[in-house]
Amino acid sequence: MVYYDNKKRGLTMSDIKSVREIISTLPFNKEFGYDVFKNLDISTISMQKSVHRSSDLVSQTKRGKFYRKLIPEVSDSFLLTNSKPYEYYDNEKVAIYDPKRFNSKEIWQSSKPSYQKITAIIRRTLSAMDKDDIYELCLMFGVQRVKMELILMYKEMYQDGFVNLNGLELELNGRYDRDASYKILRGYIDDISSKNSTK
């Protein structure tokens, strides 16, 4: 069903405000089409532009729909605990990083939950080499994803031939899978995997 067409008038600041007001009333746990704006007298193209400009409030999907973003404050512990699957963007490359779930507090400067790239969350946490934090990573993203990021991280380091530690470049030689730190981290992950398989 078509609710509006491209013959209607263009977008005004008042329309953008109306779109944002409607978005703010939508629940977090549902995907929406543009029909939620059917009472606004603007064209489809203008509607899409308005939603696109509201990227701080919504995330658009590949199916031509969108959902209201969940961006909780640090006090919103209920939302942080119950936000899946909307703690992820549509492409599943970004997730909420909550420092309270990890021992390694120095990974990001902010103490509040924030959207971060999943690869960055995993690799920075792996670099801290905290066994409990690695267990938390596996709960969040799965053992296979964490293992894949570990392998890729060390492969890339050895392809570069050096690693930067606090401004000091250390030369790397040999095979990545014989690196002492890699073996420790791989041991943690394999131990978590074996414990999960016996449950």
- Mean pLDDT split into 10-residue runs, the chain, 199 residues: 41 77 77 82 76 71 70 43 42 73 76 81 91 91 90 90 77 92 95 76
Predicted model pTM? 0.55
Helix, strand or coil, per DSSP, at residue 60: strand
Burial 9-38 (b: 16+ CB within 10 A, else e): eebeeebbebbbeebeeeeeeeebebebbe
**Predicted pLDDT at 111:** 78
**Predicted pLDDT at 131:** 94
Give helix 118-128 / helix 143-160 axis angle, nearest 10°: 80
**Predicted pLDDT at 27:** 76
Q: Which of 29, 132, 39 is nearest to 87 (CA)?
A: 29
Q: Where are the domains of the chain?
A: 13-68, 77-197
**Predicted pLDDT at 28:** 65
Please tell me the distance from the alpha carbon of residue 56 to that of residue 122, in angstroms, as a whole number.
25
**Predicted pLDDT at 78:** 43
Both tokens of 10, joined, read 């263009």
